[in-house]
Amino acid sequence: MDIAGLSMAMSSANVQSAYGVAMLSKSLEQVSSTGGQIVEMMDAASMELSVNPHIGSNIDISV
Protein backbone atom coordinates (compact mmCIF):
# COMPACT_ATOMS: atom_id res chain seq x y z
CA MET A 1 0.00 0.00 0.00
CA ASP A 2 1.19 3.51 -0.81
CA ILE A 3 1.26 5.42 2.50
CA ALA A 4 1.87 8.81 0.86
CA GLY A 5 -1.07 8.37 -1.51
CA LEU A 6 -3.33 7.23 1.31
CA SER A 7 -2.27 10.21 3.40
CA MET A 8 -3.01 12.63 0.56
CA ALA A 9 -6.41 11.03 -0.07
CA MET A 10 -7.36 11.28 3.60
CA SER A 11 -6.19 14.89 3.74
CA SER A 12 -8.23 15.72 0.64
CA ALA A 13 -11.31 14.08 2.17
CA ASN A 14 -10.83 16.12 5.36
CA VAL A 15 -10.56 19.35 3.36
CA GLN A 16 -13.68 18.52 1.37
CA SER A 17 -15.56 17.72 4.55
CA ALA A 18 -14.47 20.97 6.20
CA TYR A 19 -15.50 22.91 3.09
CA GLY A 20 -18.92 21.25 3.11
CA VAL A 21 -19.46 22.09 6.76
CA ALA A 22 -18.42 25.72 6.18
CA MET A 23 -20.80 26.07 3.23
CA LEU A 24 -23.63 24.49 5.21
CA SER A 25 -22.96 26.93 8.05
CA LYS A 26 -23.15 29.90 5.67
CA SER A 27 -26.36 28.52 4.20
CA LEU A 28 -27.86 28.14 7.65
CA GLU A 29 -26.93 31.73 8.55
CA GLN A 30 -28.56 33.02 5.36
CA VAL A 31 -31.77 31.04 5.93
CA SER A 32 -31.92 32.23 9.52
CA SER A 33 -31.50 35.84 8.42
CA THR A 34 -34.18 35.49 5.74
CA GLY A 35 -36.55 33.89 8.24
CA GLY A 36 -36.00 36.78 10.65
CA GLN A 37 -36.78 39.28 7.91
CA ILE A 38 -39.98 37.43 7.01
CA VAL A 39 -41.08 37.49 10.65
CA GLU A 40 -40.39 41.24 10.80
CA MET A 41 -42.49 41.78 7.65
CA MET A 42 -45.36 39.78 9.11
CA ASP A 43 -45.18 41.76 12.36
CA ALA A 44 -45.26 45.02 10.40
CA ALA A 45 -48.30 43.82 8.42
CA SER A 46 -50.16 42.82 11.57
CA MET A 47 -49.34 46.19 13.13
CA GLU A 48 -50.88 47.95 10.12
CA LEU A 49 -54.04 45.88 10.45
CA SER A 50 -54.32 46.68 14.14
CA VAL A 51 -54.01 50.42 13.42
CA ASN A 52 -56.22 50.45 10.30
CA PRO A 53 -58.38 47.30 10.37
CA HIS A 54 -60.55 48.45 7.45
CA ILE A 55 -57.60 48.81 5.03
CA GLY A 56 -57.49 45.96 2.53
CA SER A 57 -60.62 44.20 3.73
CA ASN A 58 -62.88 45.30 0.84
CA ILE A 59 -62.30 45.50 -2.91
CA ASP A 60 -64.44 47.84 -4.98
CA ILE A 61 -64.56 46.70 -8.62
CA SER A 62 -66.68 48.08 -11.43
CA VAL A 63 -66.66 46.64 -14.93
Task: Give the DSSP per-residue string, 12-56.
Answer: HHHHHHHHHHHHHHHHHHHHHHHHHHHHHHHHHHHHHHHH-TTTT
- Residue 12 forms part of a structural domain: yes
Domain hosting 21: range is 7-51
- Residue 18 forms part of a structural domain: yes
- Residue 2 forms part of a structural domain: no
CA angle 41, 43, 46 (to 5 degrees): 110
DSSP assignment letter at 39: H
- Model confidence band, residue 1 (pLDDT cutoffs 50, 70, 90): low
CA angle 25, 22, 12 (to 5 degrees): 155
| Number of domains making up the chain | 1
- Residue 11 forms part of a structural domain: yes
pLDDT given at position 2: 84
- Residue 20 forms part of a structural domain: yes
pLDDT given at position 59: 75
What is the model's pTM?
0.54
- Residue 17 forms part of a structural domain: yes
pLDDT given at position 49: 64
- Residue 63 forms part of a structural domain: no
pLDDT given at position 21: 94
- Residue 35 forms part of a structural domain: yes
Residues 3-55 pLDDT 10s? 888 899 999 999 999 999 999 999 999 998 898 888 888 877 776 666 666 76
